[in-house]
Chain A
Amino acid sequence: MSVTDKPTARVEAGPPRLQELEVTKKDLWREYGPWVVTALNLATFFAVWELIARLGWINPLFLPKASDMFAALWEGLTTTAGPGAVISGSIRDHVLWSLRNLAVGMVIACVIGIPFGLLMGANRYVDGLLSPYVWAISSMPRIALVPLLILFLGFSVQMQITVIVLSAVFPIMINAWAGVKTTDKSLLAAAKVFGAKRRQLYTKVVFPYTLPFIIAGIQQGIGRGLVGVIIAEFLGGSRGMGYLLQRSADTFNSPLMYAVLFVIVVVSLSLIQLTRWAEARIAPWRRLEGL
């Protein structure tokens, strides 16, 4: 067999096929430059903020000094306080509480959303039966259901988790459904030719094909779920990031409020980044095929 597109192992004359290049300053800049730029960018942002606040152009109640926010953040993250001692503010406890609820909600959303989405994709009777409800609830603003949930569950953790589940379950379900529906026909044909039984078509083709869709669904679900967390905590209970936000606003503690917002940004960014990383690990072919 000839070697058409394999690298040639031996070259008689001329330069070696693969040469190590020296690492130049340009390479270093290409690699670390964006980080340096981002760091400078953020530093400038906070410096300008600090300056504006110090000049007193804006009421400190609306815009505290950046340094005050960081101080509140530091205090809130390094100390713990009972839920009653909100105003002195332990951000850490509230963040952990919210994340715990988010985690519970996401697990429930996955446990419901993945199997139902797969079933709906695979079976048109199940699809026909469930899709009116799924599309109805998934297209409406879920927040509209909150008063009803409060009626049923009161201002309880259960209510909060239900809000999270309702926010997150539909993107997961619809993505799983779409994955099954769009499974590459030629992959299915190939599996059939090589002897796949019906069950194997699902385990060896449909499910692996759908997996990255599900991860994308979870990614969207986390985004929606976070909205659910904050909203639910705005409305009731005495713990969580949403509650702390509300509480700090009520007590005119703006450094704390900004600190909580900062934490929310960091938390959502990290969660999205985590699912991106998971997607890249589990389905590296998808990024490259531009799917």
Chain B
Amino acid sequence: MSKTIVAENVTVGYELYRERQRLTALADITLSIDKGEFVVLVGPSGCGKTTFINAIAGLVKPWSGRILVDGRPVEGPGPDRAMVFQDYALMPWRTVEANVRLPFELQDHGLSKEEVERRVRHYIRLVDLEGFEKSYPYELSGGMKQRVGIARALVSEPDILLADEPFAAVDAMTREAMQAELEKLVAETHQTVVFITHSIDEAITLGDRVVVISYRPGRIKDIVEVDLPRPRFSYDVKALPEYGALREHVWGLVKDEAIRTARGAWT
């Protein structure tokens, strides 16, 4: 299978201007992701998962090492990548429709006006928001807002979908439903997905591979293959014995890191 995202010895972080300090968020990350693969990154808060996804998106530049997307080094954001944000990041002054249309307004995707409108309608229908085209984000529930976020990310049909804890802010029930929907959507659109979460269950139910990242500076601690049948939500994989074993295994990897994070937060 062809590799679509390749990270080679990526070290990246950010500068704290006021403190005149440089904080390494991620150290020496080497990872390749296949086309159409669903990769989930888990790790404690502050381990640099978000920084990594931002580097793939082209929002931050690696200090050393490089990230290739389809063989080309990432120079900045591009139409081949789209992102779903934890806090939805919807423009509050735009209707659902206008939010979903945003990628076409910001960048020329070489589509006719009619095609753009067709796409917008199609993806709004796909995330089940028909009838809410003219609503504003503040009129929607958290789950619905994130559907808008997902539609906006899918509408330009990018090869790569980046998701930064997209369901962290929605309630537990909606979250399960949204996970099922995302799995189904991605199965239809064949996107490569890089997905960040804190939830081990979410990681195992969604991912083909789960990448466990250690406490800061983040390094890849282990990569766990998830060999559960798809679609996971119709098989109810959570009831399978393998699921329990996987969960146990991933938790074993994450546990120490989580404890260190919690200690770090206290001191």
User: Which residue numbers of A lie inside 8 Å of B, CB to CB?
Assistant: 1-6, 184, 186-187, 189-197, 200, 204-205, 208-209, 211, 283-286, 288-289
Contact = CB atoms under 8 A, between A and B. Distances in A.
Nearest to A205: B91
A196 B54 CA distance: 15
Interface in B34-73: 54, 57-59
Nearest to A194: B103
B107 A5 contact: no
Contact of A187 (B89, B127, B173): B89
Given A196-B106, A285-B136, A1 B184 contact: yes
B189 interface: no
Contacts of A204: 91, 102, 105-106
A194 B127 contact: no
Contacts of B92: 285-286, 289
Which 4 A-B residue pairings sit nearest by Cβ, starting from the closest? A195-B107, A190-B89, A285-B92, A194-B103
Contact of B82 (A193, A209, A211, A286): A193
A192 B91 contact: no
B110 to A, nearest CB: 13
Contact of B93 (A2, A6, A190, A283): A283
Nearest to A6: B128
B103 A5 contact: no
B136 A284 contact: yes
Contact of B59 (A192, A200, A205, A208): A192
Contacts of B93: 208-209, 211, 283, 285
Interface in B71-94: 77-79, 81-83, 85, 87, 89-93
B77 to A, nearest CB: 5
A192 B105 CA distance: 12
Contact of B126 (A1, A3, A200, A208): A1
23 contacts: A1-B184, A2-B180, A4-B178, A5-B141, A5-B144, A6-B128, A187-B91, A189-B85, A190-B83, A190-B89, A190-B90, A192-B59, A193-B59, A193-B162, A195-B103, A195-B107, A204-B91, A283-B93, A285-B93, A285-B137, A285-B138, A289-B92, A289-B138
A189 B86 CA distance: 12
B89 A189 contact: yes
A4 B89 contact: no
B181 interface: yes
A193 B177 contact: no
Nearest to B152: A194
Contact of B106 (A4, A194, A208, A285): A194
